[in-house]
Amino acid sequence: MDEVRAVDTGARTVTRQVVVNAPAATLFAMLADPRRHGEVDGSGTVLSGVRGPARLSEGAEFSVAMRMYGVPYRITSRVTAFEDGRLIEWRHPMGHRWRWTFEEHEGRTTVTETFDYTTARSPKALELLRMPALNAKGIRATLTGLRDRF
């Protein structure tokens, strides 16, 4: 079974990768539909109650109900990069980005998820709150769940 592995993508990024036994189109469709983010999320923070398009595209906005440390809240993100079947990225209101890439090889797909806080409004605050480590744990759980699902 393929393990989730860390990938060095530079300072102020947290990137993990795993190989999933599913076509890239299947996996991409899950992330392109914001209503499905809760079923993909391994961090336990993404809830239902999504507002936005049924399928994301560059420039699209979507709003998601979240819960962290027992506190419910809602965020609205904007899609900043979109290559159908291959890449999707959205920017959080605090400026950091979540990026997903999908590379298919013979019916198996390498899935890479990145928390990029180089563009965050306050990267130091995120570091003080230990968000890189917390998000690394959530990404690992997300990718493990995706791998195990297929």
- Give the pLDDT confidence of 141-150 residue by residue, as tens digits: 999 999 999 9
Max Cα–Cα distance, the chain, nearest Å: 43
CB neighbour class for 64 (10 Å; exposed up to 12, middle 13-18, buried from 19): buried
Residue 141: in which H helix or E strand, if any?
Answer: helix 131-149
Domain range list for the chain: 5-149
Of 92, 119, 93, which Cα lies nearest the Cα of 11? 119
Range 58-69 average pLDDT? 93
Architecture of domain 5-149: 2-Layer Sandwich (3.30)
How many Å apart are CA 19 and CA 17, to the nearest integer? 7
pLDDT band at 18 (very low <50, low <70, confident <90, very high): very high
How many Å apart are CA 149 and CA 29, to the nearest integer? 15
Of 16, 107, 24, 55, which Cα lies nearest the Cα of 7? 16
pLDDT 10s digits, 96-111: 999 999 999 999 999 9
| The two three-digit tokens of residue 32, written as one number | 């392109």
pLDDT of 60 > 90? The answer is yes
pLDDT of 48 > 80? The answer is no
Of 98, 101, 86, 103, which Cα lies nearest the Cα of 138? 98
| Mean pLDDT taken over the chain | 95
In total, the chain counts a number of residues equal to 150
